[in-house]
Amino acid sequence: MNDHWHRLHPLSPFIRTMHIVAVAVVVAAQQIDEVFNAPFVALAFVGVGATIAASYGWASYHWTGFRATTAQIELKTGVLFRQHRRIPTDRIEAIDVARPLTARLFGLVELRVEVASGAGSEMRFQYLDQEDATALREYVLQLQPASTNAVRAPTPDLAADTSRVMLEVPASHVVMAYGIGPLGLVAVFALFFGLIGTVTTSAVTTTAAITSLPIMLAIAITTFRTVESYWGFRVSHDERGMVVRRGFLNELTQKVPVGRIQGIRMEEPFLWRAFGRARLSVDVAGYRNVNVNGTAETVVLAPVAARKAVHILLQDLIGTLDIDALEHVIVPKAARWRAPVASRFLSIAGNETWAIAREGAFRRRTDIVAHAKAQSIRVTQGPWQRKLQLATLHIDTAGNRIHFRALHRAAQDAYELAWLSRKLGHTSH
Amino acid sequence: MNEDFQPIARAARVIWGLSGIGVVSLFGATCTISASLASDTAAIAVVVTTLILDGWWWWISGRRWRAWGYAERDKDLVIKRGVMIRRLTIIPYGRMQFIDTKQGPLERLLGVSTVILNTAAAATDARIPMVKDQEAQRLREQLTRLGETYATGL
In a domain, B6, yes or no: no
Choose the closest CB to A375 out of B75, B84, B95. B95
Taking an 8 Å cut-off on Cβ atoms, the answer to whether B121 and A380 are in contact is no
Taking an 8 Å cut-off on Cβ atoms, the answer to whether A378 and B154 are in contact is no
Q: Which residues of B touch A382 (CB under 8 A)?
A: 84-85
Alpha-carbon gap, residue A347 to A366, rounded angstroms = 9
Alpha-carbon gap, residue B16 to B113, rounded angstroms = 13
Q: Are B7 and B36 in contact (CB under 8 A)?
A: no
Alpha-carbon gap, residue A12 to A425, rounded angstroms = 48
B105: amino acid identity, one letter: P
Does residue B33 share a domain with residue B98? no
Q: What ipTM did this prediction achieve? A: 0.89
Q: Please report the beta strands in chain B, taking only residues with DSSP state E, as ranges in sequence order.
A: 69-72, 76-81, 86-92, 98-102, 112-118, 126-132
CATH number of A6-160: 2.30.29
- Consecutive H or E run containing B43: helix B40-67
How much is the pLDDT for A121? 58
**Model-level pTM greater than 0.80?**
no
Which of the four pLDDT bands, split at 50, 70 and 90, describes residue A347? very high
- Shortest Cα distance from B75 to chain A (angstroms)? 8
Q: What is the CATH number of the domain that holds B75?
A: 2.30.29
Alpha-carbon gap, residue B27 to A387, rounded angstroms = 34
Peptide linkage before A61 cis (omega within 30 of 0): no
pLDDT digits (tens, 9 = 90+) for A112-157: 887 765 555 578 888 898 888 888 888 887 776 544 443 333 444 4
Q: How many other C-beta atoms can be found within 10 angstroms of the C-beta atom of residue B42?
A: 15
Range of the domain at B119: 69-149
- Of all residues in chain A, what percent carry a pLDDT higher than 70? 90
Q: Does the pLDDT at position A57 exceed 90?
A: no
The DSSP 8-state label assigned to residue A179 in this structure reads I
pLDDT digits (tens, 9 = 90+) for A87-103: 877 777 778 888 888 88
Q: Are B124 and B21 in contact (CB under 8 A)?
A: no
Q: Which residues of A touch B154 (CB under 8 A)?
A: 116, 260, 262, 285-286, 373, 398
In a domain, B5, yes or no: no
- Residue of chain B nearest A402, judged by CA positions: B121
Going by C-alpha positions, the residue among B70, B103, B87, B94 that lies closest to residue B143 is: B94
- Shortest Cα distance from A260 to chain B (angstroms)? 6
Residue-range domain boundaries for chain A: 6-160, 161-256, 259-427
Which of the four pLDDT bands, split at 50, 70 and 90, describes residue A370? very high
- Residue of chain B nearest A423, judged by CA positions: B75
How much is the pLDDT for A124? 86
Distance of CA A324 to the CA centre of its chain: 27
Core vs surface per residue A399-411: b (16+ CB within 10 A) or e: bbbbbbbbbbbbb
Does residue B145 share a domain with residue B93? yes
How much is the pLDDT for B13? 94
Structural domains counted in chain B: 2
In a domain, B54, yes or no: yes
Q: Does the pLDDT at position A78 exceed 60?
A: yes
Does residue B52 share a domain with residue B76? no
CB–CB contacts below 8 A, A to B: 81
What is the 3-class SS of B57-99, one letter each residue? HHHHHHHHHHHCEEEECCCEEEEEECCCCEEEEEEEHHHCCEE
A294: amino acid identity, one letter: G
Taking an 8 Å cut-off on Cβ atoms, the answer to whether A398 and B119 are in contact is yes
Q: Which residues of B touch A375 (CB under 8 A)?
A: 91-92, 95, 119-121, 124
- Shortest Cα distance from B56 to chain A (angstroms)? 19
- Residue of chain A nearest B126, judged by CA positions: A376
- Residue of chain B nearest A404, judged by CA positions: B123
Taking an 8 Å cut-off on Cβ atoms, the answer to whether B75 and A374 are in contact is no
Does residue B36 share a domain with residue B73? no
Enumerate residue ranges in chain B where pLDDT < 50.
1
Q: Does the pLDDT at position A240 exceed 80?
A: no
Q: Does the pLDDT at position A345 exceed 90?
A: yes
pLDDT digits (tens, 9 = 90+) for A186-195: 888 888 877 8
Instruction: Classify the C-alpha dihedral A92-A96-A101-A106 as positive or negative.
Output: positive
Distance of CA A360 to the CA centre of its chain: 22
Does residue B73 share a domain with residue B59? no
In a domain, B154, yes or no: no
Taking an 8 Å cut-off on Cβ atoms, the answer to whether B154 and A116 are in contact is yes
- Residue of chain A nearest B91, judged by CA positions: A376
